[in-house]
Amino acid sequence: MGHKLGIIGYGGMASWHHNSIKANFTDLEVVAAYDISKERLEAAKNNGLIAFETAEEFLSSHLFDIVLVATPNNFHCDYVCRALEAGYNVVCEKPVALNCEELDKMEETAKRCGKLFSVHQNRRWDKDYRIVKQAYEDGLVGKPFTVESRVHGQGGMVHGWREFKVAGGGMVYDWGVHMIDQMLDMIPSKVVSVYANLHCVRTLEVDDYFKLVMRFENGITGQIEVGTFHLVQLPRWYVCGDGGSLVINDWDCNGKIIHTKDTVMNWEPVVVQTKAGPTRTMAPRPADTLEEKPLPDVETSWSSYYRNILDTIDGKAELIVTIPSVRRVLKVIEACFESDRTGTGLKTDI
Amino acid sequence: MGHKLGIIGYGGMASWHHNSIKANFTDLEVVAAYDISKERLEAAKNNGLIAFETAEEFLSSHLFDIVLVATPNNFHCDYVCRALEAGYNVVCEKPVALNCEELDKMEETAKRCGKLFSVHQNRRWDKDYRIVKQAYEDGLVGKPFTVESRVHGQGGMVHGWREFKVAGGGMVYDWGVHMIDQMLDMIPSKVVSVYANLHCVRTLEVDDYFKLVMRFENGITGQIEVGTFHLVQLPRWYVCGDGGSLVINDWDCNGKIIHTKDTVMNWEPVVVQTKAGPTRTMAPRPADTLEEKPLPDVETSWSSYYRNILDTIDGKAELIVTIPSVRRVLKVIEACFESDRTGTGLKTDI
C-alpha cells in the first residue's frame, strides 16, 4: 500500500521534495500543501496539490499519513507537534529545532502519540560524504588525525528568512547542521570539546562564516567551515591519517588518496635548501615513496532517505535518522553558539 | 667598525647562520664556536673558526662581541644568561625558551647587563609572509575575517633532539613559533582566545601535528597548522576578507588574489541544481563578477635580521625582534599546550 504526504511550508525546499519524490517513488505521493503565502499555495495547486489555506483544515484533512514540515526553522517545533498530535508521521526539515529544549518537546510528543518522527538529514547520502565514510571505514588513510569538511560559497549573500536570527538563519543552522551531522555519523566517538568562531562578513545579524573545531574522544580533530564569500575555495574534504591523506576537491568528487609505499622508511632524509630555508623535517619526500589511489567508488541516492521512512512506517526497517542522532548535532550547534558567545572553548560530553 | 660573532652549539642551524653571514656581510664575521661534540668542533675548525672545548674558555675569550646560542631549546636559557653576564650581546635561536619563566630570567639578565638580547625570528622576512603582510596592510582583500597559515610536510619524521620533550622538541616549538610570530607581527590586535589540538601521529612524545585557532580582539580568526605527514598539502597561506580572497600555494609564492568587481550586486542569484542539491547560497557566481590580481611584489632578505642587530648595537636603529614581541609568541605557545592538556579553549589577554 502506498503512502501519501502533505507539506507544511511550500517554499524552495518543499518543491524540491515534491519533485524528488515524484521522480523516485511509486509508493509515495505528495498530495497536499499548506502555506501562509497565497502565491506559494497557487504554486502548489499548479503542481497538482490540494492547497489548504489554514493549518487546521490541512491537519484535519487526513488525506495523507506523513507530514513534511518545511517552514522557516523557528516554526518547526510548533508544526511538528501539531502534526504529531493530529496523528501523522512527521518528517521535519533541518535543522530540526533551534535548541535542544524544542527538540525535547517534539520527541516527547512523538513518543506520546506513537508516531514516526525524523529529520531530513539527507546529506548522509551525499556522494562526497559517502566516499569519505567508506575511506574512513576501510582505513584507506590509516588512523585519521584530522578530518576537515568545508563548504566555501562565493555569493556573499544569504537569502530570505535565512538572513534573520529569529527565524534560525545563518550558516551554522543552514549548512553546519549537515556537515556536523555527517561528521558525527562517520566518527563513532564522543565530541569532548568544541571551539567555534562565527562571523557576520556581509550579513547584519546571522553568521555567514563560521569555523568550528571539535575534538573527538578517539583523538580525531574535526574541523568544519562554511562561508558565503570565499573567492578562492579550499577542498570540500581533507582527511589526514597515519597512513595517508585524502582530498575531495569539489561536489563532483574530484580527488585522490595518497599513501606511502612499503619503502617509506628506506629513504634517507637530508637537509635541503628550500625557499623556506634549510629544512630536514619539511624536505620533500622522494616521489617514488608515494602512491596515488583513486577514491573508493560508492553508489548513493537521496531517495534512500524517504525509502527508509516508508520502510520504517511499514515495519520493514529501523529508522536511520533517529532523534538521538539529531540531538547530538543540535548539542554541537548549541556549543558552537556558546563558544562564540563566551569567546572560549567548551568541554563537552556529546 | 665590524662585529664578530661566536656560536654556542655548532649544529645544523649554526652552520646555516655561518654561511649566510659569510655571504651577506662585510661588517660581521663569525670567528669562534663552542660545542659539546668533538665532531662538530672539528667541523667548525674546518670552516675556519676557533673551536673551544669548554663554555668557560669560549665565554672568557672576548674574541667576539655577539654570541649566537643555537643549542637544543632546553639549553637556551642557561647559555643566554651566561653570555649576557660575560658581557656579550646575544642572539638566541627560536624558540627563545620553553616557557615565559625562562624568558623573564633571560630578559632580566639582559637588562641588568645592559646588553642587546634578541631572538632569531628570521621568518618575519620570509617572502610568502611579506606578501601576505603587504596585502593585509594595503587592504587587498578588504577586512580579513580568517587568516590561515599552514606548513604541511610529507616526511613523517622529526629528527635528532627535536624528537624529545625534554629538549623542547615538537612542531609547536619548531615551526609553530615562526608562524605564530608572523601572525602576531601582522595583525595589530590582542589574542583573546586560543584553542589547540596536538597530535603524535608518528612520534612518541612530541607533537608532529597541531592545529591552533585563535581569535583576535579585532575579530579576525587566525588558524595555524603544522604537520609532518601530509601527503596532500593545503596552501601555505589562505586569507579571506570582506573584499576578496588571497591564496599562496607554496614556498615559491605561487598564488593569487581574487576580488569582486564593482558589479558585485548586479547579478541575480538563482537557485541552481548542483551535485550538492538545490542551492542559492552556494550557487557559483558568474565569472565576470570576479577579477584576479597578482600577489603584490615584495623585496625581502633574511640578512635584514642581522643588519638590524648590528645597527641596533651601533645605535643606528631600533631593535625589530624585541623581547616583548617574542614573549607574546611564547604566551600563545603556552596557551596551546594548556588548551591541549585541558581539552578546551582558553580566554587570553596576549
Over residues A328-344, the pLDDT tens digits come to: 999 999 999 999 999 99
Is the CB of residue B223 less than 8 Å from the CB of residue A158? Answer: no
Is the CB of residue A55 less than 8 Å from the CB of residue A34? Answer: yes
Task: State how far residue A79 is from chain B, nearest Cα, in angstroms.
Answer: 24
Which pLDDT value is given to residue B1? 67
Task: State how far residue B109 is from chain A, nearest Cα, in angstroms.
Answer: 31
Task: State how far residue B106 is from chain A, nearest Cα, in angstroms.
Answer: 27
Q: Does pLDDT of A263 surpass 60?
A: no
Q: Does A211 touch chain B (CB under 8 A)?
A: yes
Q: Does A247 touch chain B (CB under 8 A)?
A: yes
Which pLDDT value is given to residue B268? 67
3-state helix, strand, coil in chain B (%, to 5): 35, 25, 35
Q: Does B286 touch chain A (CB under 8 A)?
A: no
Inter-chain CB proximity B238 and A234 less than 8 Å: yes
Instruction: Enumerate residues 297 to 326 of chain B having a beta carbon within 8 A of any beta carbon in chain A.
Output: 302
Over residues B266-311, the pLDDT tens digits come to: 566 677 766 667 777 888 788 888 999 999 999 999 899 999 999 9
Inter-chain CB proximity B232 and A258 less than 8 Å: yes
**Kind plus residue range of the DSSP H or E element containing A346:** strand A346-347
Q: What is the mean pLDDT of residues A170-195?
A: 97
Average pLDDT, chain A: 93
pTM of the model: 0.95
Over residues A118-165, the pLDDT tens digits come to: 999 999 999 999 999 999 999 999 999 999 999 999 888 888 888 888
CB-side neighbour CA atoms (13 Å) of A296: 16
- CA–CA separation, A69 and A72 (whole Å): 9
Phi-psi region at B160: left, alpha or beta (left = phi > 0; alpha = psi -120 to 50) = left
Q: Does A150 touch chain B (CB under 8 A)?
A: no
- CA–CA separation, A9 and A79 (whole Å): 10
**Which residues of chain A have a CB within 8 Å of the CB of B202?**
242
**Kind plus residue range of the DSSP H or E element containing B42:** helix B38-46
Which pLDDT value is given to residue B75? 95
Inter-chain CB proximity B231 and A347 less than 8 Å: no
Which pLDDT value is given to residue B262? 64
Give the SS3 label for residue A113.
helix
Q: Does B275 touch chain A (CB under 8 A)?
A: yes
Q: Does pLDDT of A312 surpass 90?
A: yes
Q: Does A285 touch chain B (CB under 8 A)?
A: yes
Nearest Cβ partner for B258 among A16, A156, A231: A231
Q: Does pLDDT of A37 surpass 60?
A: yes
Q: What is the mean pLDDT of each run of 10 residues along chain B (350 residues)?
A: 94 89 96 96 96 97 97 95 98 95 97 97 95 97 97 87 87 96 98 97 94 98 97 97 96 94 64 70 82 94 94 97 97 97 96
Q: What is the mean pLDDT of residues A52-66?
A: 97
Q: Does A18 touch chain B (CB under 8 A)?
A: no
Q: What is the mean pLDDT of residues A11-37?
A: 93
All three cell numbers of B152:
604541511
